[in-house]
Amino acid sequence: MKRRAELIFVPLPGTSHLVPTLDFAKRLIDRDDRISITILVMKLPFGGGGAASTKSLAASHPSRIRFIDIPDNLVELPPPQLMMTSPEYYFSLFAESHIPLVRDIVGDIMSSQSEADSAQVSGLVVDLGFVSMIDVAIELGLPSYLFIASNFGFLSLLSYVLTHHDQVGAELEPSDSDKLVTIPGFVNPVPVSILPSGLFNKFGYTLFVDTAQRLKDAQGVIVNTFLELEQHAINTFSGGSNIPVYTVGPILDLQVRPNNSDSEESPSRKILEWLDDQPESSVVFLCFGTGGKFSPAQVKEIATGLEKSEFRFLWSLQFSPQKNVSSDCSTNGGDVLPEGFLERSKERGMICGWAPQVEVLAHKAIGGFVSHCGWNSVLESLWHGVPIVTWPLYAEQQFNAFMLVKELGLSVELRLDSKMDDDLVVTADEIARAVRYLMDGDSEIRKKVKQISEIGRKSHMDGGSSFISTGKFIDLNF
């Protein structure tokens, strides 16, 4: 890079997308002092925009990163009920409604930089879910780069979508769920039942097709993975074009949040103090993200399964809102746990509401993780060498779970195609069996996870695969 360059990021504001985007931005700044970053921040009408992360990052790099809030009163947002029908399509329309404002803001930034100014806008980095923002870059004569907060397998999935569209031209049918399909870069045939639900409705399917077709319009794709984790998929990817792909992960938010941790009554402190008293690698951690809520019937099965497993546990417990369970149940279980469970398990288990996941997974007492398989959670678990039991619930989590179990051999299968809105209850015996296998200290999966943890950490060191890929992104584009 011969000059100072300013990159403008347009991230999807949901926390699971925003946080890795911001951490990649921080990595670029730390890597080259000639790069500056502007983040355009959109506000979701239903919250969850990651405000704490943006404030923390802004404070750590006040002179080289800035945030511009896009006013939410100047856009006509899509109807909120569309989130229930097709979240993917909702965010597509959400992005399109912001295009005029983003174009004006970026244009103003460019026009304010005189030719003598040492820093010039060098491109837009847009979330894959905001692929329509590529039009802003084209109109303003800027290169665009797509940021994928998920894994490389998702890029392979987009290749399959194009093939399916050429052959069939319509969304998947529920009757296809028992079929197997071939996805480029996957060794094993993939069950249709684990593909994202958006592919089964017209709105979501149309968006997947459009996203896959528009990859060729970007000057590069940035993926939150590392070469050694998905080497086969990466080596066999073509995407129908010669678009450069940069594997720059694992991009993790490992910063410890205060959360009143100095207070003796804080949830974080109580959890970590309890873990301090447990033997090394003896505790299984159950946590399913902010959206992972269960019915009382399922909660009872989980509790019974944990009791049958006879292992220590830390359980971040949330209930489905439609079940009319009082909010205080999220921390103590209320009346939905099996009779006497709390008393019987008090010496070897802890139930909490919110849990500081990064700190918990880093704790020496944690030996396993029962997870919804959101990609950020997967990377955090692999980073700390903690093996996973797969219990996917929504979005692309079923696809992630399949990849972890069948393609990479890094996780224990509980379910691959479970969904949060299913009436099917995962039984206590299934849960106990998976937890016992997970916590086996001599299992091959545990050994493989420890190995990939070391490789993932080395990937960011000088000479590592992600270090090299990030360097190529900087050198070839600026």
Each residue's pLDDT tens digit, 162-190: 999 999 999 999 999 999 999 999 999 99
Query: CA 408, 414, 416, 420 torsion: positive or negative?
Result: negative
Residues 77-116 have pLDDT tens digits of 898 888 888 888 888 999 999 999 999 999 999 998 766 5
Strands 180-181 and 190-191: antiparallel
Single-letter amino acid, residue 450: K
If one compares 441 and 7, the residue with the highest pLDDT of the two is: 7
Residues 36-84 have pLDDT tens digits of 999 999 988 776 555 555 656 566 656 788 999 998 888 888 988 888 8
Q: Using the predicted structure, report yes or no on whether residue 228 has a pLDDT greater than 70.
A: yes
| Predicted local confidence at residue 428, as pLDDT | 98
| Predicted local confidence at residue 19, as pLDDT | 87
| Predicted local confidence at residue 67, as pLDDT | 92
Residue 120: enclosing H or E segment and its boundaries? strand 119-127
* pLDDT bracket for residue 241 (50, 70, 90): low
* pLDDT bracket for residue 400 (50, 70, 90): very high
Domain with CATH 3.40.50.2000 in the chain: 4-249+459-477, 267-456
4-249+459-477 is classed in which CATH architecture? 3-Layer(aba) Sandwich (3.40)
| Predicted local confidence at residue 53, as pLDDT | 57
Q: Using the predicted structure, report yes or no on whether residue 238 has a pLDDT greater than 70.
A: no
Class at the top of the CATH hierarchy for domain 267-456: alpha beta
- What are the structure tokens assigned to 343, written together? 């008393």
List residues bridging with 38 in a β-sheet: 8, 66
Residues 243-274 have pLDDT tens digits of 899 999 999 977 655 554 455 567 889 999 99
Percentage, residues of the chain above pLDDT 90:
71
Q: How many CB atoms lie within 10 A of CB 364?
A: 14
For residue 7, which of 91, 64, 69 has the smallest C-alpha distance?
64
Q: How many CB atoms lie within 10 A of CB 81?
A: 8
Block residue for tokens 């077709």: 213
